[in-house]
Amino acid sequence: MKTFKEILENRHAYAKSWKAKTGRKVLGFYDTYFPEEVAYAAGLMPVRILAEHEADDVTDRLMYGNCYCTRDMLNQFARGRYDYIDGLVSIESCQWWYNAFDTTLIMFPDLFSHYLFTPDYLDARTSKDVMRSELSVFAERLEEWLGTKITDEKLDDAINVYNKNRALLRRIYELRRFDTPVILGSETMEIMLANQVMDKAEANVMLESLLSDIEKREPYQDCVRLMLLGSETYDVSLERLVESLGANVVVDELDNGTGCIANDVIPLKDRLMAIGLRYLGKPHSALKDSIWRRRQERIFQLYEDWQADGVIIAKQIYCHPHGTDMYAVWKLLRERNIPYITFERDTTLPQEETRLAVEGLISQIEPGRTRIAGWSRSGAKTG
Amino acid sequence: MTGEFRKWPEFSWLSDTDTWKSAEKITAGIDIGTTSSQAAVFADDELFGYASIHTGADFTLAANTVIAKALASSALSVGDIGTIAATGFGRRNVLYATKTQDEISCIAKGARFIYGPAVTTVLDMGGQTTKAILLHEWDRVREFEVSDKCATGMGRHIETAAEILRVPLTEMGDRSLETENDPEPVSTTCFNFAYSEMMSLFREGYKEDMYKENEVIASYLFAVAWRILGTVGKLAPLDIGDIKIKEVLGFTGGLAKNKGITKRIERELNITAIEGKHDPQLAAAIGAALLA
C-alpha cells in the first residue's frame, strides 16, 4: 500500500493518476477555509497548493514582496508542476495568497477560477448568511462549469467523507497525547500534508489501515514534548530536526494541523448552511482572529491537553497574519511561564540557527521537567 | 584582498602551576564557531589554560589546533582530560569530544564565570549569530532569543568590511567613536542592506577624508548594533512581571571586543555593561568545560 509520505513526495503524479483513473477534474485551492465539501460533491478532487523549495527566477518580476511560500506556489505553476489543475479557487484570506492566485490567473487565463468570500469577522451576526450566500454562488458556478447538479445526496456524501476524514485525523492526534506516543510529529505532519492533496475517500481507507497498524507499534520513549505554532509549513524538516535532538512535536496550532480538523459539519436540512457554519466555526486562523480573539485560549488549551513542555513559534518571513498575531501569543506564553522560542524561516529551514535555538529550548526545559499525571498508551493515568 | 585587515590577534594562556597533576577532575570545553574557535581547560573547576584561534575552512583542524594551543607546553594531553564538551557551529567536528552541549547553556554558564553571579542579561555577539539570554537569579536560563536571518553572519562580514575599507578590524570600533557627533545608522532593515549602503558611501569618495571615513564606519557599526538591539528587544517586548532587561549586562563573543558596537548598545539601552575577569570570547568554551 502507498504511504502518506510517498503520496506527499509524488503528489503531482498522484493527482495525474487520479485524473486518468476517474476522468474527473482537479481543483486547486490555497487556504483551509476553502469549503472542500462543495467541490467534492461536484465530483472534483480539491488539491491544496503546497509550497516547495525550488530555485525561483520567476516571481521576483511578478510579485516581489510576497512571502516565499506564495512566491513558490506561483513559481511551481510557472514551471508547469500544476499542469493537471483544471481550476483554481481563492478565498478571502491572506493577501499573499490572493496575489499568488491573481498572478497565476494572469499567466493561465484559461483556468476555471473563483474567488469565494469568507467573512473576516467569523462570529458576526450576518456572517452565516453571507457565507451561505457565497457557497450558493460557488455551487452554481461549479454546476455551470461542470454541467452537473450538486444535489443534497451528493453534499451528504461529501459531508460524510470529510467528517470521517477529520475524525480519523483527530484519532492520530489523540495518540500523541500519551507520555510515550506511538507516532512522531514528523509522521503526523506528513499525513496531514498528504491528506490535503488526496482524494479523501482513499485517504480514509489508508487512515483506517494506518490506525490499525499503529496500535501494534512499540511506543517511542518519553521525551521533551513541544508544541508548534506559527505560519503553515509545507514540509516536516522542523519536526525532524526536533526529533534528531531527542524531543518530539506532540501538538500544533497550525492552520494545516489541528486548525483544519478540529470541528465537523453538523448535518442540517440546508446543507450549504451546515457546511458554511463548519468553516465559520473552525478555530480562528491568525488572520481571522480579529475583534473576537480566541486563539490564545485555544493555544493554551492544546498546550495543556497534550502536556507540552515548551513551544516553538516558526513564522514564515513576510507572513503578516502571524507577524501581528505573535505579539498576543508571546503575551500569553510569558504570562503563563511557558518556555518558548520564536524564529523566522522561509520555505527552507536554516538548520544550524534553528538547531541552536531548539537545543537551547530543550536544555531550558529538561532539568525542571515533570510528569504529574500523564496518560499511558492504554489510557490509564500514570503517576 | 590580502586578508591583513580582517585579522584579529589569536591568544592563549596556560597556568604556570602544575595543579592539574593533583586534580580529581580535568575537563575541557571546545567552542568551534564559524569565525573563531576557543578551548578552555579546567582542573577541579579552576581555569588551567585557554586559547582562541581563527577557525578557517576546516573545523576538525581548528578543533585539533585550538586544544593543542590551550595545552601548549604543559605535559597534559587530550587523553588526560576526563570529559571534553564541544559546542558551537562546528561542534560535531570535534572528534575527540566526549559530549556536545548546546550553545545557549554554555554561554550562560561561561558568562556567570566571567562576570560573576551578578550578571542577569548576556548578549553574545558571534560571527554567525547573536544570542540574548536572560538568566534566573540562580544558574539557569530564563529566556533567550537568537538573531533572525536578517542578521545572520553579521560578525563575520564585519571582517569583510574591514578588508574592503582597508581599516584594521581591531581599529574599527575605536575609529567609529572618534566622530564628533555620532551619525545616524545606515539601513537597519537587515545587515545586508546596511552593508550595501555602507559600500555606497564608501564609493562616493569617503575614503578621501579620514574623518568622513570614520563616519562611514560609525554609521555601519551603529546599524550592526541596531540589528543586535532587535534581538535584545524581543527578550522584553512586554512589561510582564519581572521579565525585563536587567541592568547587569555582560557581553560575550568576538564582537564584545568591538567598542564601536558595545558602546552604542550601552547607550541605546541606557546601561553600562560590567567588566569581566576573562576574555569575553571564551564564554562558550568556559561554559562547555564547566558543564562537561
| ipTM score | 0.79
Cα B58 from chain centroid (whole Å): 20
For residue B103, pLDDT beyond 90: yes
Helix (H) or strand (E) holding A47: strand A45-48
Distances in whole angstroms, Cα of residue B197 to Cα of each of A174, B171, B173, B225, B238: 53, 21, 18, 15, 32
Sheet with B36-43, side-by-side order of all strands: B11-14, B46-54, B36-43, B26-32, B83-87, B99-100
Q: Which of residues 305-344 of A touch B (CB under 8 A)?
A: 317, 327, 330-331, 334-335, 339, 341-344
| Average pLDDT of the residues in A31-53 | 95
Sorting pLDDT into bands at 50, 70 and 90, what band is B194? confident
Burial class (CB in 10 A: 0-12, 13-18, 19+), A111: middle
Residue B240 gets which letter from DSSP?
B
Please give the helix or strand (H or E) that residue A114 lies within, else none: strand A112-116
Closest CA to A5 of A174, A184, A160: A184
Do A306 and A250 meet the contact criterion of CB atoms below 8 Å apart? yes
CA B194 remoteness from chain centre: 20
| Residue A155 is assigned to a structural domain of this protein | no
- What is the distance, to the nearest Å, from the Cα of residue B50 to the centroid of all Cα atoms in its chain? 15
Model pLDDT, residue A159? 98
- Report the C-alpha gap between B217 and B169 in whole angstroms: 11
C-alpha cell at B204: 562616493
Q: Is the pLDDT of residue B238 over 70?
A: no
Residue A360, chain B, CB below 8 Å: the answer is yes
Q: B-chain residues within 8 Å CB-CB of A356?
A: 102-104, 129, 131, 146
Q: Which residues share a beta bridge with A341? A: A312
The CB-based long-range contact list for A260-265 (8 Å cut-off, 24+ gap) reads: A260/A32, A260/A166, A260/A192, A260/A196, A261/A166, A261/A169, A261/A170, A261/A173, A262/A170, A263/A166, A264/A162, A264/A163, A264/A166, A264/A167, A265/A37, A265/A159, A265/A162, A265/A163
Q: Is the pLDDT of residue B246 over 80?
A: no
C-alpha grid cell, residue B265 = 548598545
Q: What share of chain A is helix, strand, coil (3-state, %, to 5)?
A: 50, 15, 35
Q: How many CB atoms lie within 10 A of CB A254?
A: 20
Question: What pLDDT is recorded for position A290?
Answer: 78
Q: DSSP of B155-209, one letter per residue?
A: HHHHHHHHHHHT--HHHHHHHHTTSSSPPPPS--S-HHHHHHHHHHHHHTTGGG-
Q: B interface mutation test: which of A68, A331, A337, A353 has the most B CBs within 10 A?
A: A353
Q: Which of B280, B276, B262 is nearest to B176 (CA)?
A: B262
Q: Which residues of B touch A (CB under 8 A)?
A: 89, 102-105, 128-129, 131, 140-141, 143-149, 152, 234, 237-238, 240-241, 243
Residue B81 CB partners (closer than 8 Å, separation 6+): B26, B27, B28, B41
Give me the pLDDT at residue A369, please. Answer: 66
**H or E segment to which residue A15 belongs:** helix A11-22
**Is the confidence at residue A378, as pLDDT, over 50?**
no
Task: Measure the CA–CA gap between B41 and A169, rounded to whole angstroms.
Answer: 52
How many C-beta neighbours within 10 Å does residue A292 have? 11
Task: Give the tens place of pLDDT for each residue, A174-189.
Answer: 999 988 899 999 999 9
C-alpha cell at A106: 494572469
Q: What is the mean pLDDT of chain B?
A: 87
Does A350 sit within 8 Å of B149, measured CB to CB? yes
Q: Between A243 and B201, where is the model more confident?
A: A243
> Measured between alpha carbons, how far is A325 from B98 in angstroms, rounded to an integer?
43
CB atoms within 10 A of CB A1: 8
Nearest Cα residue to A379 out of A98, A182, A93, A191? A182
pLDDT over threshold 80, residue B241: no
Asked whether residue A31 is assigned to any structural domain, the reply reads yes
The pLDDT value given to residue B212:
80
Total number of domains in chain A: 1
Say which range, A97-111, A263-277, A368-382, B133-147, has the weakest mean pLDDT.
A368-382
With respect to residue A362, please indicate whether it lies within any of the assigned structural domains: no
Please tell me which of the candidates A334, A353, A362 has its beta carbon nearest to residue B146: A353
| Chain B partners within 8 Å of A344 (Cβ) | 148-149
Nearest to A169 by CA among A183, A156, A155: A183
Within-domain flag for A106: yes
In sequence order, the 6+-apart residues with CB closer than 8 A to the CB of B31 are B37, B38, B39, B86, B87, B88, B91, B103, B106, B282, B284, B285, B288
**Maximum separation of any 2 CA atoms in chain A, in Å:** 64
pLDDT at A196: 96
Do A248 and A207 touch, CB atoms closer than 8 A? no
In-domain check, residue A76: yes
pTM of the entire predicted model: 0.87
Angstrom distance (rounded) from CA A39 to CA A12: 19
**Is residue A173 assigned to a domain?**
no
Domain with residue A109: its CATH number is: 3.40.50.11890
Q: Is A67 contained in some domain?
A: yes
d(C-alpha A340, C-alpha A309), whole Å: 9
How is residue B107 written as a grid cell?
Answer: 554561554
Amino acid at B146: V
Q: How far apart (Å, rounded) are the C-alpha atoms in residues A27 and A9?
A: 19
Q: Is the pLDDT of residue A375 over 70?
A: no
User: In angstroms, what is the C-alpha Rg of chain A?
Assistant: 20
Burial-class residue B67 by CB neighbours within 10 Å (0-12, 13-18, 19+).
Answer: buried
Distances, alpha carbon B12 to alpha carbons A23, A176, A320, in Å: 74, 50, 48
Phi-psi label, residue A41: left if phi above 0, alpha if psi -120 to 50, beta otherwise: alpha
Mean pLDDT, rounded, for A233-262: 94
Domains of chain B, CATH where assigned = 11-108+282-291 (3.30.420.40), 117-275 (3.30.420.40)
Q: What is the tens place of the pLDDT at every residue in B40-73? A: 999 998 999 999 999 999 999 999 999 999 998 8
Q: Tell me what pLDDT residue B112 has.
A: 94
* % of residues, chain B, pLDDT over 90: 51
Decide if pLDDT at A154 tops 50. Answer: yes
C-alpha to C-alpha distance for A48 and A66, rounded to whole angstroms: 19
The whole-number average pLDDT for the span A292-312 is: 93
Residues of A in contact with B237 (CB under 8 A): 327, 330
Which residue in B has a C-alpha nearest to residue A327's C-alpha? B237
pLDDT at A223 over 60: yes
Contact (Cβ atoms closer than 8 angstroms) between residue B15 and residue B260: no
Instruction: Give the residue carrying C-alpha cell 575605536.
Output: B174
Would residue A261 count as lying in a domain?
no
How many residue contacts between A and B have a Cβ separation below 8 Å?
A: 66
Q: How confident is the model at residue B22 (pLDDT cuts 50, 70, 90)?
A: confident
Nearest to A330 among B147, B149, B237 (CB): B237
CA dihedral sign of residues A130, A131, A136, A137: positive
Q: Which residues of B touch A317 (CB under 8 A)?
A: 148-149
Reply yes or no on whether the pLDDT at A118 is more than 70: yes
DSSP B119-160: --EEEEE-SS-EEEEEE-SSSSEEEEEE--GGGTTHHHHHHH
> CB contact, 8 Å: A296 with chain B?
no
List the domain range (segments joined by +) for residue A83.
4-148
